[in-house]
């Protein structure tokens, strides 16, 4: 299956420029790249050495795009290498458990990958505004094993922010499902 991504005709006129933060922060299953590690295909001078080369780059990289790059509603946010976070196009699911009843519910969340070199980047006020405007909780990911679930005022009954340090983290549910569908 061939996937073509046309960044020239995206929703914005923004370009990656020198930014390669997604290549560092996001895990890539097909090449056994863990989160928060430099990809072996990443070149400081040119970005990805194999991107857009048929048969050479991972399928998940071909299907993935940075929201800052492609979405007009991220206009007030800084480029990822300047902000210290990357907003994933793919939402994820978290499981919430009611402590009183034991009932479990899945909630779709935005994913924001935080650069470990800038662990407080998620405190950017513009990011908070952006999350709140989306009307969805966000999973602030510090890698594959640690995250904070952020519930913005637009999603809470008392219109306050709530932050919950994540419990057990398993593989990204929606990302894994998408990749399995693409490979199948």
pLDDT tens series, the chain, 184 aa: 343 444 444 456 788 888 889 889 998 888 888 999 988 877 766 667 666 666 666 777 777 888 998 898 998 999 999 999 999 988 888 888 888 898 998 999 999 999 999 999 999 999 999 999 999 999 999 988 889 999 999 999 999 999 988 665 544 444 444 444 444 4
Q: What is the pTM of this model?
A: 0.80
How many residues are listed for the chain in this entry? 184
3-class secondary structure, 39: coil
The radius of gyration of the chain's CA atoms, rounded to the nearest angstrom, is 17
Which pLDDT score is estimated for 180? Answer: 44
Closest CA to 86 of 51, 109, 115: 115
Which pLDDT score is estimated for 48? Answer: 74
Which pLDDT score is estimated for 18? Answer: 83
Which pLDDT score is estimated for 174? Answer: 45
Which pLDDT score is estimated for 39? Answer: 85
């Amino acid at each position: 299956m061939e996937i073509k991504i046309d960044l020239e005709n995206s929703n914005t006129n923004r370009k990656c420029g020198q930014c390669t933060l997604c290549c560092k922060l996001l895990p890539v299953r097909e090449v056994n790249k863990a989160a928060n590690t430099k990809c072996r295909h990443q070149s400081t001078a040119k970005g990805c050495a194999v991107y857009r080369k048929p048969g050479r780059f991972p399928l998940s990289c071909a299907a993935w795009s940075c929201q800052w790059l492609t979405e007009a509603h991220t206009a007030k946010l800084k480029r990822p290498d300047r902000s210290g976070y990357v907003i994933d196009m793919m939402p994820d699911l978290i499981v919430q458990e009611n402590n009183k009843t034991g009932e479990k519910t899945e909630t779709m969340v935005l994913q924001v990958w935080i650069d470990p070199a800038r662990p407080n980047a998620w405190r950017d006020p513009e990011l908070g505004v952006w999350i709140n405007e989306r009307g969805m909780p966000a999973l602030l990911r510090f890698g594959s094993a640690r995250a904070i679930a952020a519930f913005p005022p637009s999603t809470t009954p008392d219109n306050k922010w709530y932050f919950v340090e994540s419990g057990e983290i398993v593989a990204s549910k929606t990302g894994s499902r998408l990749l399995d569908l693409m490979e199948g």
